[in-house]
Structure 1
Amino acid sequence: MSMSGPILNEGPSVFRCWVGFACEIAVTGQGLSSQNRLLVAEGACNSTNRSLMSLSGLSSLATSSSGTAYALGTAMEASFTTFVVCWLATESAAGIDFGTLSVFGPVEGTQGTHVTCRLNETCSITLDSMVGSLGDGFDQQSYLQLEKGGSCSGSPATVWGNLTNPVPQSPLENATSLTFDLLVPSAQEVAETDLVVGNYSLCLSLNGTGPFSMAVGSLIVEDVPCEVPSDILDTLEPACLSSDSGLPAAASEEFCLVALEGGPQATLSRLQVVPAGQESCQGLQHGSQCDLNCPAGTLASGYFLCEHGIFYHQGFKGLLVLS
């Protein structure tokens, strides 16, 4: 008399899968065939209260052409639940407890590890919403990859400095949180700013070599805004000249955004703002231009250019004072 079914060497097997990676279960035994099935559920295999596993990306009932390799899919979310794996001779047969399955990774709803960093300031992230730990499958040298936009399925982004697939800082054997130092997102030129500033996907690898297919959150790198001071320094010499008299605007007139003499060296503390009509200058980003919104009867002396958080006055050459 021949027996068919899986071989349980030392009791039920323990299976682990990770979000973003293919989940496969191998079966060894005798008389295995394409008629066999694997069923993943909560509760005992033959319990009347059994409920099928319901996780995005994974199938609770799997088939195999050989009866030895079962592909459940690719998990899109993790779960704190440990599921039971049942082996069935046929789809309608009673199930045999074959093992357990855990699905590790970021928990549903917490994959939004949304981090915002600012240009030219230190940046780091901590992944602390993970099911599982380094001892459950993470390699001690798990790496992070940044992708511009996307969903952890493309190539790494061109990032700043020497930042290339950062390694977690001092990972512990059973750590369930990982902290990564992202250094300082920096840019000195407008072209560099355009490359660095933007939205990134945070993609994790289990062993540091890839694939980086586990989406664990997102990073936004913001530019440095040029802030217009709210106070009006009436003692500053206005930069708008009257087109009628050729004289500086009177103190009672609506002033334009101005700087002290010295032009290109003007800093934020040396600016003056029009009480109304200059809202377009609020929060300008690096490389943006703020035009002087001069009141009627005056002429603009130039414009202001935002460079890494500071407005610099750019005078018009050959400015003619009308009389």
Structure 2
Amino acid sequence: MKFKIDKFVLSIILVVLLAYIFPQLGSTSSSIPLDSIASLGVSLIFFFYGLKLSPEKIKSGLKNWKLHLLVQVCTFVVFPVIILCFYPLIHSEYDKNIWLAFLFLASLPSTVSSSVVMVSIAKGNIPAAIFNASISGLIGIIVTPLWLGLFLNTTTNSYNLGDIYTKLIIEVVVPVILGLFLHRFWGNLAQKHNNYLTLFDKSIILLIIYKSFAHSFEENVFSEIDAFAIMTIAIAVTVLFYLVYFLTGFISNKLRFSAEDKITAQFCGTKKSLVHGTVFAKILFPNPSVMGIVLLPIMLFHALQIFIISFIATHAANRKEENPIYLDLK
């Protein structure tokens, strides 16, 4: 079985390398207004996100409430609670920053496009996947800052929840609402050109990643992070993924979900959105040099989840219908 390396993952690696070689373009003294471009780009991302959301599909998707509840609880409660268990192990400022980066990862919403694509490949419940992936992004606008606020408020005066939500409302909520309002006029057009919009989304994400890492390299933020530390973070995100994946599968079996619903629960409940992570980090962490560390776990998790779920989805697509426990890969 052949696996293709995701082009977006390769693009991220290239952008980080460019930030290391040419950090001056992303510095505060740069003549290119990357901050303004990124802020405008973030607003457009969420405008297009709202434009593609169908209010009718959201309403009809509410029927399978047990599945939706499981996915959202795993996404916004189970992930953060697992990370909270490691809070007593923090002994230094470096440990605190890494732990906050993991808490940020854990509190993010699920992905949209990749979740739906993988569920489709695995022959799961596609309408439920679309509903959960879409609604997860809206919930994350409220929940992600709340989780971070519980700990950042105690350590820094620069994190003001009121200011954060004001910025979120201006850059995220208003564009989403405007997009939803215009869905009936331009929704079909947005769906027709979805590939171009996805390319735009990824371009803005790469721009933010470049600027964040350029600042981080200039400030020597990664001086304490060596190859061993990166390997440790990679192992940690792998363990985190599998913990939630098998827990979601276990609960799905207890709730007697169909094979299709179990696929959706495990695929949507274990994903984390790099798109939301990047744009939220830009708002939640005003210091651009800190964003490099904050984004490191989610970037590793993003690459990991694509590889693992691709393998599982391909395996699931070839399952025999009489074998309902195929997702456990026994």
User: What is the TM-score when the length of structure 2 is the normalising length?
Assistant: 0.22
Q: Which has more strand, going by share of residues? A: 1
Higher RCO (C-alpha under 8 Å, 6+ residues apart) = 2
Rg bigger for which structure?
1
Q: Which has more helix, going by share of residues? A: 2
User: What is the TM-score when the length of structure 1 is the normalising length?
Assistant: 0.23
